[in-house]
Structure 1
Amino acid sequence: MNLPARQRLDKWLWFARVVKSRTLAAKLVGEGFVRVNGVKTDVPAKAVNVGDVLTIALERDVRVLKVMAPGTRRGPFPEAQTLYEDLSPPAEAAAPKDEHAARQPGSGRPTKKERRDRDSFFDDQ
């Protein structure tokens, strides 16, 4: 089967399972959250080629994807992963901002005494 060399950006984002629907892909591109080779685009019909680098600002993170192949269908996730190479930097582990207020996982809510101790510690500073 002869694959096209180019594909619509919104369609490719949907095939690659970056977003749940093609409508959401068009909305993401239309609002300016996608860059193609470093250039902001707001046209969902923008053609992407093999080798293009997409920078996508999602709700909680930024993904950098290199287009490896155009999509033919919205298949399962392992098939969608073959369409791109993920160049995103690794996510940094979220460290607690205040070590005094950090609690061990599963230890439940602080007691009244623990809360008073914590409040008095921060009021002194």
Structure 2
Amino acid sequence: MTSRTEPERVRLDKWLWAARFFKTRALSAEAIDKGRVSVNGQAAKASREPRVGDTIEFRQGNEARVVTVKGLSAVRGPAPVAQQLYEETPASVARRLAAAEQRRLAPEPALSQPMGRPTKRDRRTLKDWGDRWSASLDDDGNE
């Protein structure tokens, strides 16, 4: 008899969802369909059944992750339980930490720009700034 938390067979898209790598099962199936997931170095299908010991490589956002399957589950449980289903490889952890450090040290310039139209207060500030300074004139009024 198989226990409820350790089924013999589970679909790959359901396992990725149960291990909390994707918020919904549809998102995990979409990532698989787009070719972003491979099992043991081979392209995977959503119906593929991972086995304990398999190596799964996938992209989660902008980050590539490599995990080894430690357990199977078809149900999505709490995060501590989900973390027992896999073990991330040391190389994958190092790449993720290096990428996070790179983002911290050199943030994307576009993210620092305010979004949307300026408010009335912003427009007044910009107008006041333009009256006080010009790039073509220096302080004594000479070009």
- State the TM-score, normalized to the length of structure 1: 0.71
Q: Which has the larger radius of gyration?
A: 2
Higher-strand-fraction structure: 1
Residue 96 of structure 1: how far off its partner (Å): 3.7
For residue 93 of structure 2, what is the aligned residue in structure 1?
89
- State the TM-score, normalized to the length of structure 2: 0.62
Alpha-carbon distance between aligned partners in 1 of 2:86 and 2:70, rounded to the nearest angstrom:
5
1:29-55 deviation digits (Å, cap 9, x = unpaired): 0110001001122x2101110100000
Divergent runs of 4+, >2 A: 3-6
How many correspondences in the alignment? Answer: 97
Alignment of 1:40 with 2:43, yes or no, is: yes
Where do 5+ consecutive residues of structure 1 fail to align? 98-115, 117-125
Where do 5+ consecutive residues of structure 2 fail to align? 108-134, 136-143
The question of whether the paired residues in 2 share the 8 Å contact of 1:5 and 1:50 is answered with no
Higher-helix-fraction structure: 2
